[in-house]
Amino acid sequence: HPYIYKITFATANESSALVIRPFSEKGTLKDLIYKAKPKDPFLKKYCNPKKIQGLELQQIKTYGRQILEVLKFLHEKGFPYGHLHSANVMLDGDICKLLDLENSLLGLPSFYRSYFSQFRKIN
């Protein structure tokens, strides 16, 4: 799918997994929002609230449509994706591509599990 970021190499055994992707100079959607460089340390990139900027309306429309299209594609294929957040959306030019699709295959809990597990009626 054009909105899924490619994997260069992947391997797994009974105790671990390794996934390697190409490095992106533009970084993730989170990097764009925080005006951060992908190679900078985490605390330098994301712990300065003064650097945060919003996205332009056209960017929101474009990125939102692309993310919804890939989520629809995954849903139609019966593939769960519970790790959607701005750091898992890679920017490739003006195109958003999802990362970490393998998390559900590896049995990792959803990023939002702690939020919705507090509701008793949701299983």
Read off the pLDDT of residues 19-35 as tens digits, 9 standing for 90 and up: 999 999 889 999 999 98
Provide the token pair at 83. Answer: 């790790």
Give Cα 99 to chain centroid, integer Å: 5
| Global pTM value | 0.81
Nearest to 110 by CA among 83, 76, 79, 75: 83
In this structure, the strands spanning 17-20 and 89-92 are: unpaired
Distance of CA 58 to the CA centre of its chain: 20
pLDDT of res. 7:
93
pLDDT tens digit string along 29-58? 999 999 889 999 988 888 877 778 889 999
- Rounded-to-integer distance, Cα 30 and Cα 87, Å: 5
